[in-house]
Structure 1
């Protein structure tokens, strides 16, 4: 299958490219720079020059492919709402090309878009969070209604020893402030998954997924923020402290509401449906690696 991958040279996308090629698929990777193009060529993928802002490049990439995996996202949190709306528009553009063709469009979302106090979020839980990231799933539902074969992958904190999703920002703050912090008792939880397990899931969704389904890329349902802060403290050799919500706002800035969130998520349905069994190192093991 010829698969158009956006974000193909990124942290998650590059692992997906390797996974797809190893499984015998042909990859057309979106590249916005010469460095990204060179990385794709080295991986054995075909290069498609363009970007999220270049709508014609998105259209032509989708038109030339049997499937689309959309992982690209601009991680500039100073413009988070605008970037989420751009993602909505990108999904609409890709969907317009694929409508009525039965060619799959795999959309990337986050487990935090659905929150269910008192239990882990499941694949059946519809988006209900006020965070701007819900735009991706709203767009997925809109293009599905227009005849697109849409599948959604929800990501938790995706990690390896070098990067750990939002936790990478926590590490930056701890390095800058000289202290690793959590809020209150620190028993609120974030789900997590290793980068390579994530790539394996995208391939399984491509090959075996059901139209309209959501899949949770979750290996660990919930890792406490206290244990995360302690691992960061050990990694950086800085003190670990509990903070009040007011102190945390000063310490973390825009990240504070997320550090306070309790958002465990389950992948039971995903595992049963696709036969996905994550095997990578857990989050705390990766955080304990020097970095």
Structure 2
């Protein structure tokens, strides 16, 4: 008699990070030991995922009952859809609690947050403050009002209550144009948010922009390396020593492979704009106060968000993409977005 397969639920399965993770799960060497269910928004995506051997549950994060039901059937949940939808994440946790009450075995939750929890209010100025994923006291000292923090606290509370084992992954600035089967069939977002955000607003004003002097610092990490970290955690917690993998209040894993200053990015955008004839000189012009008001939310690009993934590396994660890869990716984003704008 064959052993029952591990039931895996993934949210955000057609998103930028989630889709990249799903593609790794589909190619996993132990793929025949687990079944994958994707929580998706519509029938069209569901149909295409079925063709890849993925089961689906259809719903949104506003449909809490559907999310609870899907989570209640899962042994492992990759939660990659929305780090800030508090009620949706509570609904997912209720499902995990139901699973625990039935099986008396705590399901695993691999949750996505981000180094945005460390953001200060700088406007292009640098900081020496660096957070480490091994320094739990500093993480716990963060204000409850920090970005993503309210959901993170609910996830940690679930672990403390004993009805789930939780692992929170916190990527920095994720970059790189995603590729693979899900991109090819047209159901996956292939582009990040943060750097394209800067490029789009710079395209709108016709000149590369920056916040203040652009000396503020963020970590960077390629989307493929982020996805690989999810698999590293998945393999570790399902392995023979899974119980010893840090979880709950200690289960924070920063995902980064170096740092950049905002001006590093803005200068590359300016070079690409100049080469493409978008701007007449290869310089960078700070966003004005009027433009900051016009381009809602752009000021966060001028904040600092510094973190080190020591715990992630101790678990065995190794990033392959460097700062050189990050800088090289900026021109590709510019060319891609500029081409879309022309269309």
TM-score (norm 1): 0.86
Q: Secondary structure at the match of 1:232?
A: helix
Query: Runs in 1 of length 4+ with deviation above 4 angstroms?
Result: none
* Deviation of the 1:132 alpha carbon: 4.0
* Deviation for aligned residue 1:223: 1.2
1:219 corresponds to which residue?
257
Q: Flag the 1:255–1:223 CA change in 2: closer, same or farther, 3 A.
A: same
Q: 2:197 aligns with which of 169, 179, 201?
A: 169
Residues 225 and 15 (structure 1), Cα distance of their counterparts in 2 relative to 1, 3 Å cut: same
1:236–1:8 distance in 2 versus 1, CA, 3 Å: same
> What is the deviation of 1:171?
1.4
Match of 2:21 among 16, 24, 38: 16
How far did residue 42 of structure 1 move? 4.1
Q: 1:230 to 1:87 in 2, by over 3 A?
A: farther
Ranges in structure 1 where 5+ consecutive residues have no aligned partner: 75-82
Q: Does 1:152 align with 2:168?
A: yes
1:31 to 2:31 alignment? no
Structure 2 unpaired stretches of 5+: 1-5, 121-126, 178-189, 238-244, 337-343
Sort the Cα spacing of 1:137 and 1:265 in 2 relative to 1 into closer, same or farther, 3 A: same
Match of 1:268 in 2: 310
* Equivalent residues of 1:182, 1:242 under 8 A apart: yes
Give the C-alpha shift of residue 135 in structure 1. 1.6
In structure 2, the residue matched to 1:228 is: 265
Question: What is the distance in 2 between the residues matched to 1:190 and 1:87?
Answer: 28
User: Structure 1 residues 85, 45: CA separation in 2 closer, same or farther (over 3 Å shift)?
Assistant: same
Distance 2:115 2:301 in 1: 15
Q: CA deviation at 1:159?
A: 1.6
Contact 2:216–2:304 under 8 Å retained in 1: yes
- The equivalent residue for 2:131 is 121
Deviation at 1:242, TM superposition (A): 4.1
Specify whether residues 60 and 275 from structure 1 end up closer, same or farther in structure 2 by C-alpha distance, changes over 3 A only.
same
Correspondences of 1:60-139 after superposition (within 5 Å):
60-73=69-82, 84-99=85-100, 101-114=105-118, 117-123=127-133, 124=135, 125-126=138-139, 128-129=142-143, 130-139=145-154
**What SS does the aligned partner of 2:297 have?**
helix
- Which of structures 1 and 2 has the bigger CA Rg? 2
Secondary structure, aligned partner of 1:170: helix
C-alpha deviation, 1:109, in angstroms: 0.7
* 2:81 aligned counterpart, secondary structure: coil
- For residues 51-90 of structure 1, what are the alpha-carbon distances to aligned partners after superposition, in whole Å with 9 as ceiling and x for unaligned? 212223222222222211111128xxxxxxxx54334434
Instruction: Look up the SS of the partner of 2:197 in the other structure.
Output: helix
Q: State the secondary structure of the residue aligned to 2:192.
A: coil
Q: TM-score, normalised by structure 2?
A: 0.74
Indicate the larger mover: 205-214 or 91-100: 91-100
Give the deviation of 1:285 after TM superposition: 1.6
Q: How many residue pairs align between the two structures?
A: 280
SS in 1 for 2:226: helix
Paired residue secondary structure (1:12): helix
Higher relative contact order (CA 8 A, sep 6+): 2
